[in-house]
Chain A
Amino acid sequence: MIFVTVGTSQYPFARLIHWAISAHQKVCPQEKLIIQYGKVKIGRSGNKNIRMYPLVPFSKMERIIARSRIVVTHCGIGNILLCLKNGKKAVVAARVKKYGEHVSDHQKEGLEYLSQKKVIISVDTQQELEKLFSRAKTFNQNFSGIPRTDFVIKTTQLLDQLFQGR
């Protein structure tokens, strides 16, 4: 099972969805493909194995991510953290301002940073996505403790200090 999600943003990210559908048709048409396409509508594909939903409830999202072989997502921190929490290395593409996919190009920078940290796999073209699809295994990640406890403790301390007016 492959899961493609582009978040709840009001902007479209049709590029990634088209890549996913065509890569799926080329490499593994028999496999189930679940697409969450967001608030902007997208035309239907004839394939029975492809399921499309505008939004997936948060409760189901976690279950789908845990079950699926590959998770493809836009560079939204919520999705990426959710994947890491479930031990999956997400395949991530950035939204670009040029195509009207977001208000700024910040996702590119985030993508660069995260792929340097090796917590995700970044894709930029359809060919890269095809290559990843053709690999049989899942991209697992043995990550413990998301969010990091020291980060939470530090933030908590600072906020408490601010609150108590120290």
Chain B
Amino acid sequence: MNKKTDILSIGVISRFRSTDLKRCLESISRQTVLPREVLLVLDSRDSLSIGVVTSFKTLPVKILCYGHPGYAVPRNKLLKNCRTRYLYMVDDDCVLGRNNIKNILNYMQRHSHVTAVQGSSVNKDVSFYSQFMQWTYELWNNRLLQDNGKLLTLDTKNIAFNLHKMNGRYPFNECFGSEDIDFGLQLTTNGQKIGYCPKIIVSHFEHTLNLLGFVKKKLRMRRGRDYILSKWDVHTTYSFSKKDETILRRNFNNSKYKGTRKYRIIFNLLMFLRSASDKLHEMFSEKQKVVLCVTSPGGHLYQMSLLREWWGKYQRYWVTSDSPDVRHLLKGEEIVPGNFPENANPINALRNLFLAFKLFLTKKPSLVVSMGAGIAPPFFLVAKIFGVKTAFIETLDFVHHGSLSGRLIYPLASLFFVQHRSLKKIYPKAKYIGNFI
């Protein structure tokens, strides 16, 4: 006879997937430690699932009928209706490992400060597309882990909550899209801790995806994540690096699909699609932002041109003199001719001021960057008026005394870089970045 706990119950959410639900409930009934009760959230129109549940007489199943499908509301409903200390949430298309509940209880006893425990999942009997999806999903999770050093993603298909730690608050917020990252972020921002226990395993039976479904799901996930991360002010990059590519390739080579030619072709196609979509995404998200590079010709411009790695990413306009030298350095760039000579020349400074107003109204830049000399101050003044962010980099040849333009700009710029430590005496808030040589 199996043991039974009084402090843990299982919550399952299902929608029109009766066969999956049956498999899931069977796996629950096979646990070494049985839960106190199984809470079910079903769609009220789903008569097949209700039939499945009623046929299970061995498990204490409680149905919380629910009319409108959603993401946050049914989960909050589960949390609200749970009478025990721990709530273990699983998806209906998962099969639990036999010792899952035992492992959760063990983990919770050892880590009493933890609010939620995330388990791992294994994909079983899935199509190639969903397998690929799973790999990319893991990559994404790893990246979030590395970036912040905290576990931010929670997968609702395999997570246990300690309700005593929640203080009656329900973490699933409907206002924020519908993604698993959201819950993790909400918990961590409230100062609650999330644990990770790889022993708690569920095998996940993902529904078969075709290529179209794959693309659709990918797009939806990306949009949702973008939205949530921007809400929570978390910045991670989507770009598809060489390292990611090697990891994906290694996963593919370790999988059962490796030998077949058909899957090799599909894999390469998916890899291509992924990188292409990343590129497109980058283009649309970053190129909309406009950078105004305001720099005098000569050495200033030459130094600025060395930072091509940075400004190459954005749409940019250059304000310099329109000479053949400049055009050689900035091949194919859009150049707006400023008024020169500008050093200690009040008339040209005034003209540049007007030019700045004109450019800010027409081009609408979101960042102004300058490497120096006389053309910069009018533009920085106007940027301050328009509330646009600015960055100034003092040139290499000013070592002990700041340049005139630098001293003028220092109170206006939102970021001020110096290439010598000695300059920090004059510009205390400046950032030392080392220099070109």
Contacts and interface: CB of A to CB of B under 8 A. Distances in A.
Indicate the member of A8, A55, A103, A160 with the most B CB atoms within 10 Å.
A8
A124 B148 CA distance: 54
Contact of A9 (B289, B298, B366): B298
B393 interface: yes
Contacts of A158: 391, 415, 417, 431, 433
Contacts of B434: 148, 150-151, 154
A162 B328 contact: no
A147 interface: yes
B1 interface: no
Secondary structure class of chain A's binding surface, majority of residues: helix
A92 to B, nearest CB: 10
B396 interface: yes
Nearest to A111: B397
Nearest to A113: B399
Contacts of A162: 367, 389, 391, 414-415
Interface string B377-415: 000000000000101010111111101100000000011
Contacts of B324: 57-58
Contacts of B436: 77, 81, 146-148, 151
Contacts of A79: 299
Given A81-B303, A109-B397, A150-B434, A159 B235 contact: no
Indicate the member of A75, A156, A166 with the most B CB atoms within 10 Å.
A156
Contact of A156 (B309, B325, B395, B396): B309
B437 interface: yes
A159 B299 contact: no
Nearest to A110: B397
A55 B298 CA distance: 12
B418 to A, nearest CB: 12
B302 A77 contact: yes
B397 A103 contact: no
Interface string B258-301: 00000000000000000000000000000001010000011111
A8 B399 contact: no
Contacts of A165: 389
A45 interface: no
Interface residues of B, number: 49
Interface in B290-320: 291, 297-303, 306-307, 309-310, 314
B420 interface: yes
B344 interface: yes
A8 B297 CA distance: 8
How many of chain A's residues touch chain B, expressed as a range? 35 or more
Given A8-B325, A59-B328, A79-B299, A106 B306 contact: no
A118 to B, nearest CB: 10
A76 interface: yes
A151 B435 contact: yes
A1 to B, nearest CB: 21
A163 B302 contact: no
Contacts of A110: 396-399
Contact of A147 (B306, B367, B415): B306
B307 A77 contact: no
Nearest to A157: B310
Contact of B328 (A9, A58, A103, A112): A58
A78 B403 contact: no
Given A55-B325, A110-B397, A163-B367, A77 B431 contact: no
A84 B399 CA distance: 20
A106 B396 contact: no
B201 interface: no
Nearest to B311: A159
Nearest to A84: B437
A74 B341 CA distance: 19
A76 B299 contact: yes
Contacts of A104: 401, 403-404
13 contacts: A7-B298, A76-B298, A76-B299, A77-B396, A103-B344, A103-B404, A109-B398, A153-B309, A154-B434, A155-B417, A156-B309, A162-B389, A163-B389
Interface of B: 233, 235, 289, 291, 297-303, 306-307, 309-310, 314, 323-325, 328-329, 341, 343-344, 366-367, 369, 389, 391, 393, 395-401, 403-404, 414-415, 417, 420, 431, 433-437
7 nearest CB pairs, A to B: A110-B397, A78-B299, A78-B302, A109-B399, A77-B299, A156-B310, A147-B436
